[in-house]
Amino acid sequence: MSEFDSFSDDFFMNVDLQTSLPLPDSRETILQFCEACQKQFPEMGAFYQREGGEFVLEGDRDRGSYRWMELDSRRLSTGFFNPSTLEAAVAQHRWILDRCTYYLGVSPLDVECLDVVFGFNLDYRGNRDAIVTDALLGGSALAALTESGEMAPLGFEPSFIVALDRECYLQARLSLETRGNSYQVRTGNYDDEPISIYFTVRAYPAPGKRFSMQESFDRQVATAMDLTQRIVIPKIISPVAAAIASGR
């Protein structure tokens, strides 16, 4: 497994490329690109189109570890859920970013932004909002809202963005998704949805400079790895995992 899998129940790495102009949607172009991807990654055997029009190529989700790719009108997304190694996920994304230039005609002029996403799922059957509140707000001024025994957290999904350079063309976003609701808290009937923690490093093309997807991708991956190891895991993931383990 990847070096991040020991900190969560699931780890995944995604990449999203958003374009300013619509991507090609002709049958021939889509099939040629997906066939090339399938030849490179044979386990991606399922191809279909969603009701919204997105084209999807993916592996077997029931195996617990799978690759996927999705083509929307102005977005190319690719992911590896529970990769064997982080290097395998990086290699997949780099390969797809490189081939989209030839098969889809993506130009540096057409890039709106590029996202590198590290995702972590933590399984917990209970009030997931309460767990996250306790882990991340315990002892803070905001935690006073939950100090009364009659108050139960119903929606705590923090999200914030920070600039990583002075020009704000490189940014990082940390967001949590608990998937809780008042019905579950009221009845005590909680589902098996996980707490998801997303850490995204986004790059925007700087005016007057040629944007290289490959160079930006490598820089974003290095930045995401560094910040995940130094901040996200010890300050966010580990406290939430500890709260789950203690059964609070």
Q: For 202-226, what is the HEC assignment? A: EECCCCCCCCCHHHHHHHHHHHHHH
Strand partners, 162: 172
Cα distances (Å, whole numbers) of residue 221 to 21, 143, 224:
25, 34, 5
Contact 170, 163 (CB under 8 A): yes
Cα distances (Å, whole numbers) of residue 236 to 119, 122, 198, 243:
12, 12, 11, 11
Contact 111, 213 (CB under 8 A): yes
C-alpha to C-alpha distance for 90 and 142, rounded to whole angstroms: 38
What are the backbone angles phi and psi of residue 216, rounded to the nearest 5°? Answer: -65, -40
151 pLDDT more than 90? no
The overall average pLDDT reported for the chain is 92
2 pLDDT more than 60? no
Q: Are strands 111-123 and 75-81 parallel, antiparallel or unpaired?
A: unpaired
DSSP state of 41: S
Question: Up-side HSE of residue 155: CA atoms within 13 Å toward CB?
Answer: 4
Question: pLDDT at position 148, please?
Answer: 64
Question: pLDDT at position 139, please?
Answer: 74
Q: How many CB atoms lie within 10 A of CB 9?
A: 15
**Which of 58-67, 81-90, 129-138, 193-202 is least confident?**
129-138
Contact 81, 12 (CB under 8 A): yes
CA 115, 34, 72, 79 torsion: positive or negative?
A: negative
Contact 78, 96 (CB under 8 A): yes
| pLDDT band, residue 103 (cuts 50/70/90) | very high
- Pinpoint the alpha helices (H) of 45-176: 86-103, 128-137
Q: How many CB atoms lie within 10 A of CB 223?
A: 16
